[in-house]
């Protein structure tokens, strides 16, 4: 599923191209995870001001209101010249004066939701509980350590929960824990301050690197211009069960935590 870097890569791939565009036509396909919340035709005539990101949501600011877009499990956005009619898996089309924005989402866990602004209850419901942004200065190592101390769950699951720091999904949690040398099963509250600091750095480093690489193309991700990412080619542990650790040559292990696969090196990552 698209994680924070893929959502940020998507944003970067169309934000400047769509800014300033007026909406000429908008249509919905099959129902998505949540309804749009307004008549889709009422978007016509609105102007796209800019595209921001909060966690894994893209926030498309209009001159009146905003659209919150989530890619769900299998969604991808494309933006470019107007083209063929929507296919069976295209569930939101927005034709603008600068191109067509299309949401393709075979599994339909994604959504496009309209809100008046970020204080709208519809926006608060989706964004209100999100933790700090890992790539912004508000992600503070001291606050992160204090947050870990209050949580008894395994560190991998605390990262995935998203309330301490947002957008660290399955791939990047495994990778950041490897970089920090921390076993994913370790209880968050047991992590020492120096190790918490290393993990804080590792999260920033892994996510920034993934954005720079165009995201990961596992699960067929591509950005809004149809380009693939390359992060998965340099993954240290993710999806490498049975292969040799790139640092110590030990065999990478796979376990299941909260129904999600976790990958780690039993030698490099200490409990
Ligand atoms: Zn190793």
Say how many Å lie between the CA of residue 181 and the centre of ligand 1.
9
Catalytic residue among 6, 8, 11, 56: 56
Say how many Å lie between the CA of residue 146 and the centre of ligand 1.
28
The question of whether 260 is a catalytic residue gets the answer yes
Phi-psi group of 206: left, alpha or beta (phi > 0 → left; psi -120 to 50 → alpha; rest → beta):
alpha
Say how many Å lie between the CA of residue 266 and the centre of ligand 1.
7
Say how many Å lie between the CA of residue 192 and the centre of ligand 1.
21
Beta-strand pair 253-257/111-115: unpaired
Among the residue ranges 18-32, 122-136, 204-218, the one predicted with the least confidence is 204-218
**Model's pTM, two decimal places?**
0.90
Q: What is the pLDDT of residues 157-189, one digit of tens each?
A: 999 998 899 989 899 999 999 999 999 999 999
The question of whether 253 is a catalytic residue gets the answer no
Q: What is the pLDDT of residues 143-154, one digit of tens each?
A: 999 999 999 999
The question of whether 136 is a catalytic residue gets the answer no
DSSP string covering 4-27: HHHHHHHHHHHHHHHTTPBEEEEE
Catalytic residue among 47, 246, 260, 266: 260
């Amino acid at each position: 599923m698209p994680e924070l870097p893929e959502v940020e890569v998507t944003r970067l791939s169309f934000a400047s191209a769509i800014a300033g565009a007026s909406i000429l036509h908008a249509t919905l396909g099959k129902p998505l995870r949540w309804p749009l919340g307004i008549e889709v035709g009422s978007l016509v005539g609105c102007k796209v001001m800019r595209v921001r990101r909060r966690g894994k949501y893209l926030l498309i600011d209009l001159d009146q209101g905003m659209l919150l877009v989530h890619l769900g499990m299998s969604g991808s956005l494309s933006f470019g010249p107007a083209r063929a009619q929507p296919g069976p898996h295209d569930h939101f089309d927005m034709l603008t004066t600068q191109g067509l924005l299309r949401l393709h989402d075979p599994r339909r866990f994604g959504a496009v939701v309209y809100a008046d602004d970020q204080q709208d209850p519809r926006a608060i419901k989706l964004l209100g509980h999100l933790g700090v942004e890992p790539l912004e200065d508000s992600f503070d190592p001291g606050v992160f350590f204090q947050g870990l101390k209050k949580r008894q769950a395994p560190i991998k699951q605390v990262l995935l929960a998203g309330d301490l720091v947002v957008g660290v999904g399955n791939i990047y949690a495994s990778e950041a824990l490897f970089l920090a040398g921390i076993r994913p099963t370790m209880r968050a509250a047991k992590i020492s301050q120096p190790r918490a600091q290393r993990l804080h750095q590792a999260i920033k480093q892994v996510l920034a690197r993934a954005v720079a690489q165009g995201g990961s193309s596992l699960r067929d991700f591509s950005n809004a211009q149809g380009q693939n990412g390359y992060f998965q080619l340099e993954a240290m542990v993710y999806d490498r069960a049975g292969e040799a650790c790139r640092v110590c040559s030990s065999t990478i292990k796979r376990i299941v935590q909260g129904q999600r696969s976790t990958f780690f090196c039993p030698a490099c990552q200490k409990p």
